[in-house]
Copies of this chain bind each other. A is one copy, B any other.
């Protein structure tokens, strides 16, 4: 009796009831969140500081009886505040349940064409997963040898371009004038995923006034310390936003809950707190960089709340495991070109001091 490939798949924890899409998926794996002990968590790029006191006050003052009602499906007031902050119109802003959801909608709204989507070979590992989810063909463009994006490599026929800026996990920034040239010369939608932009980059949002093919995504999870509340958004030409709204209103009319809307509004109104947090993180990042250089690490120039490092004498995997043994979690990617690198989130000064001490012991 011949063994059919499908039978083998069923045996491998699959189900006859799944669609072909599900069978073929290779889901994203977020950074580990072990429950067995207290770790110093420098592995998921969370902000080490709590949200703004204004955010906490807004939640405290929220009328909980209102939870019986559906939230504003359009997050109107929040979008107006963001629009004011970025000097765009509210119809240039799309809100979602975290920027991962926003990105998912973007892939479905703009990237499924006959031509391949382009993104860097080293980049946010969710991008190829979205491509699997929506059956989008893609082509990865290698970063240069110093892990930079060279925009000239993207001037080929394509169905869209996406990259994080600063890039993850490399932490390197692409200059705004390069993004400008890219948008000008490229015929398809360019998405700049600015999850980490507040930690040292200049946003491309101002360019959305000039380029109707540019969409910029940002998140409340990093610089605004609200990963727990799930808020992300996209900024761009009203036609692009309308495309996202059509997807959203065919998926879930009410993606952002009422408390999250109120909290995010308070966060946008308190820019000082956010920029103070970012300044502290940038200062710690500089101190961390210096300390690691002293220990013999090579550190890529970072514009993010994490750094990307390797050590010429020690394998990244062994360092990752040794750190984990000693209660410090960093991120290790067992992937081509970066399998000797560690991504380290910039924590508090005290967390970073512990990391450095621990690393010194390991290297001894």
Establish whether residues B30 and A44, one from each chain, have CB atoms under 8 Å apart when the complex forms: no
**Is residue A101 contacting chain B, with contact meaning CB distance below 8 A?**
yes
Given that A25-B250, A225-B68, A249-B28 are contacting pairs, would A113 and B19 also be in contact in the complex, using a CB cutoff of 8 Å?
yes
Query: Quick one: which of A188, A228, A255 has the most chain B CB within 10 A?
Result: A228
| Cα of A298 to Cα of B261 in the assembled complex, Å | 41
| Cα of A245 to Cα of B29 in the assembled complex, Å | 12
Contact with B along A283-323 (1 / 0, CB 8 A): 00000000000000000000000000000000000000000
The number of times this chain is found in the oligomer is 2
**Is residue A235 contacting chain B, with contact meaning CB distance below 8 A?**
no
| Cα of A230 to Cα of B28 in the assembled complex, Å | 23
Q: How far is the CB of A270 from chain B (nearest CB, A)?
A: 14
Establish whether residues B17 and A100, one from each chain, have CB atoms under 8 Å apart when the complex forms: no
Given that A97-B255, A100-B252 are contacting pairs, would A228 and B67 also be in contact in the complex, using a CB cutoff of 8 Å?
yes
Contact with B along A115-154 (1 / 0, CB 8 A): 0000000000000011011000000000000000000000
Of chain B, the residue at the smallest CB distance from A15 is: B239
**Which residue of B22, B133, B257 is within 8 Å of A228 (Cβ)?**
B257
Contact with B along A15-49 (1 / 0, CB 8 A): 10111111001111110010000000100101111
A58-66, A171-179, A199-207, A352-360: which lies at the interface:
A58-66
Establish whether residues B51 and A188, one from each chain, have CB atoms under 8 Å apart when the complex forms: no
Establish whether residues A69 and B98, one from each chain, have CB atoms under 8 Å apart when the complex forms: no
**Which residue of B46, B73, B112, B259 is within 8 Å of A70 (Cβ)?**
B46
Establish whether residues B228 and A17, one from each chain, have CB atoms under 8 Å apart when the complex forms: no
Q: Number of A interface residues, CB 8 Å?
A: 84
Establish whether residues A133 and B250, one from each chain, have CB atoms under 8 Å apart when the complex forms: yes
**Is residue A71 contacting chain B, with contact meaning CB distance below 8 A?**
yes
On chain B, the residues within 8 Å of A20 by CB distance are 112
Q: How far is the CB of A15 from chain B (nearest CB, A)?
A: 4
On chain B, the residues within 8 Å of A30 by CB distance are 70, 73, 253-254
**Is residue A229 contacting chain B, with contact meaning CB distance below 8 A?**
yes
**Is residue A330 contacting chain B, with contact meaning CB distance below 8 A?**
no
| Cα of A221 to Cα of B71 in the assembled complex, Å | 11
| Cα of A31 to Cα of B27 in the assembled complex, Å | 35
On chain B, the residues within 8 Å of A64 by CB distance are 50-51, 55-56, 59
Of chain B, the residue at the smallest CB distance from A56 is: B64
Of chain B, the residue at the smallest CB distance from A104 is: B251
Establish whether residues A21 and B112, one from each chain, have CB atoms under 8 Å apart when the complex forms: yes
On chain B, the residues within 8 Å of A350 by CB distance are none
Given that A100-B251, A250-B130 are contacting pairs, would A47 and B19 also be in contact in the complex, using a CB cutoff of 8 Å?
no
**Is residue A182 contacting chain B, with contact meaning CB distance below 8 A?**
no
On chain B, the residues within 8 Å of A229 by CB distance are 67, 257-259
Establish whether residues A27 and B258, one from each chain, have CB atoms under 8 Å apart when the complex forms: no
**Which residue of B108, B243, B250 is within 8 Å of A28 (Cβ)?**
B250
Contact with B along A76-119 (1 / 0, CB 8 A): 00000000000000000000011011001000111111000000
| Cα of A98 to Cα of B242 in the assembled complex, Å | 22
Of chain B, the residue at the smallest CB distance from A258 is: B228
Establish whether residues B258 and A18, one from each chain, have CB atoms under 8 Å apart when the complex forms: no
On chain B, the residues within 8 Å of A73 by CB distance are 30, 33
Instruction: Please give the residue numbers on chain A whose beta carbons come within 8 Å of chain B beta carbons, in ascending order.
Output: 13-15, 17-22, 25-30, 33, 41, 44, 46-51, 55-56, 59-60, 64-73, 97-98, 100-101, 104, 108-113, 129-130, 132-133, 188-189, 212-213, 221, 225-230, 239-240, 242-243, 245-247, 249-260, 263
